[in-house]
């Protein structure tokens, strides 16, 4: 099962996938790690794992569509079975989403549909939530709005601040993303016209 992983930052979710492939028998291969930032920490993680990397800087493009088309041009020849957004911090247009529509996954640090967008940990704290967490969904043209695949809740503890809470959520992300990618790699998870199908269940 071939993967392309898109990152913008530290790449700890990318690392979780690399580790699951190397040590937990995740039956997948990362064919390319693509970043929109040359300084993304995840690029170093990719290189130390011997993975191919590419940088396409969104600032070299005068529209989101032209940036997205450049990424499609880079990825399409690889025909990835799944495209994994792992801390990829650009809003995608239909140019990209349509090219990989039934094979595009994103992880988001909230229990969607709560808190799409940014600053999710702060928003959960400000709201006084007792639970927070992360969600993985198929990507559609609506920001953080595609059909849900899986969620991992974490408790919000009395003395939490943004940093402690985000760390707890990230630990949950690092367990959940390899699991979901495994379902894809084992050909158990699909986006169908009726919704998300896992094994013989519609989620």
DSSP string, 150-168: EEEEEEPPTT--HHHHHHH
119 is catalytic: no
Look-up of token digits 């707890």: 168
Q: Is 90 annotated as a binding residue?
A: yes
3-class secondary-structure state, position 6: strand
State the nearest-atom distance from the C-beta of 120 to ligand GRF, in Å: 8
Q: Is 135 in the site for ligand GRF (CB under 6 A)?
A: no
Helix axis angle for 12-23 and 41-48, nearest 10°, is 20
- Draw the binding track, 29-48, toward ligand GRF (x: CB under 6 A; -: no contact): -------------x------
Cis peptide leading into residue 113 (ω within 30°): yes
Q: Does 10 bind ligand GRF (CB under 6 A)?
A: yes
* DSSP 8-state class, residue 60: G
Restricting to residues 75-94, name those near ligand GRF by CB under 6 A: 86-87
Q: Closest distance between ligand GRF and the C-beta of residue 21, in Å?
A: 16
**Contact with ligand GRF (CB under 6 A) among 12, 35, 36, 140:** 12
- Which of residues 35, 36, 82, 170 is near ligand GRF by CB under 6 A? 170
Among 1, 2, 9, 81, binds ligand GRF (CB under 6 A): 9
Q: Does 11 bind ligand GRF (CB under 6 A)?
A: yes
The secondary structure of the chain in percent helix, strand, coil, rounded to multiples of 5, reads 35, 25, 40
């Amino acid at each position: 099962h071939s993967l392309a992983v898109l990152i913008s930052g530290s790449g700890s979710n990318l690392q979780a996938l690399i580790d699951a492939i190397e040590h937990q028998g995740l039956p997948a291969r990362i064919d390319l790690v693509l970043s929109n930032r040359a300084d993304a920490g995840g690029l170093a993680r990719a290189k130390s794992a011997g993975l191919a990397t590419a940088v396409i800087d969104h600032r070299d493009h005068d529209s989101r569509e032209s940036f997205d088309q450049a990424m499609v041009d880079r990825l399409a020849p690889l025909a990835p079975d799944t495209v994994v957004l792992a801390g990829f911090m650009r809003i995608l247009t239909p140019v990209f989403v349509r090219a990989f529509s039934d094979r595009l996954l994103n992880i988001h640090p909230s229990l969607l549909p709560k808190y799409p967008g940014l600053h999710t940990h702060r928003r959960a704290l400000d709201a006084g939530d007792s639970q927070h967490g992360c969600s993985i969904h198929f990507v559609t043209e609506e920001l953080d709005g595609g059909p849900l695949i899986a969620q991992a809740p974490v408790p919000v503890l009395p003395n939490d601040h943004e940093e402690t809470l985000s760390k707890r959520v990230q630990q949950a992300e690092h367990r959940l993303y390899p699991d979901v990618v495994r379902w894809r790699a084992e050909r158990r998870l699909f986006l169908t016209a009726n919704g998300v199908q896992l094994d013989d269940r519609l989620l």
